[in-house]
Chains A and B, each alone.
Chain A
């Protein structure tokens, strides 16, 4: 059987209204969202978060039980004393001869660090995002 233009138009007219039919949601989306399963990735992420929380709680508890605060204070004092000693040694033994510096080179270096590098970083981040 050969299809004529009239036959094609007859079929198109018959399906025209069906093609325009829109089905109302009527709670369908909610039912789908309620029945979504937990993805394996979501499950592993939830377990990772729980494990991290557990480790943090245990670490904090051990820190106080084992006198971590006292150890931290002693360590901080020792480190501070070390830094002060190093600074005093540096100040008393530093070379006093003048180093010749070109002010334009210094200005260019400062401009490069303070202006050009942040600008380039901003451009690259903008292009990525």
Chain B
């Protein structure tokens, strides 16, 4: 039913240029898209929102290319993935700093502490491992969908997931999460 609604909204945008329909799509998917970027940027809210905005603008300008071969959310996340890695590449060209830095959260409290912990843990992973891990464990995508979003073969996705989980287990044990 959700898929039917998404396709109806996409049709409204693609055929009739109905901006209200696109507004509904943005409202529906802003949370998962912004959360994806927050996890990739290790909590940089400003950068995450900029990249999420760019993702939705690209989705709007290329909405006629959506063929319905996959779900709209998968198609949107693929755009988000490409936006993120385009940004990573452009940053690498202008900076020598390769290591991601965990953003310090302005808010305080237990929830903020947990977010900080998650981003610290994610910082121990390589970019591709982090993407595969967050898409599976936080966004709930199965391996075949992760493969479609990232364009990485399924076996490579499995390798990234295995290595990522091994690193996370070591990190969590070292920091006393297993007690």
A contacts with B: majority SS? helix
Of the four ranges (under 10, 10 to 19, 20 to 34, 35 or more), the interface on chain A belongs to 20 to 34
CB contacts (< 8 Å) of B144 on chain A: these are: none
Q: Is B53 engaged at the interface, CB distance under 8 Å to the other chain?
A: yes
Set of chain B residues within 8 Å of A3, measured between Cβ atoms: 162, 165-166, 169
Quick one: which of B30, B169, B177 contacts A25, CB cutoff 8 A?
B30
B57 touches A21 (CB 8 A): no
The one of B17, B38, B168, B177 in contact with A42, judged by C-beta atoms closer than 8 angstroms, is B17
B23 part of interface (Cβ distance < 8 Å)? yes
Which residues of chain A are near B53, meaning CB under 8 Å? 28, 31-32, 35
Inter-chain CB contacts under 8 Å: number: 87
B178–A10 CB distance below 8 A: yes
Least CB distance from A68 to B in Å reads: 37
Interface string of B153-179 (1 = CB under 8 A from A): 000000000100110111011000110
Determine how close the nearest CB of chain B comes to the CB of A5; give it in whole angstroms: 12
B-to-A contact residues, CB < 8 Å: 17, 19, 22-23, 26-27, 30-31, 34-35, 38-39, 49, 52-53, 56-57, 60-61, 111, 114-115, 118, 121, 137-140, 162, 165-166, 168-170, 172-173, 177-178
Q: Spell out A's residues near B (CB within 8 Å).
A: 1, 3, 6-8, 10-12, 14-15, 17-19, 21-23, 25, 28-29, 31-33, 35-37, 39, 41-42, 45
A-B contact pairs, 12 of them (CB 8 A): A1-B166, A8-B165, A11-B137, A11-B168, A14-B177, A21-B35, A23-B34, A28-B26, A32-B26, A32-B30, A33-B22, A36-B57
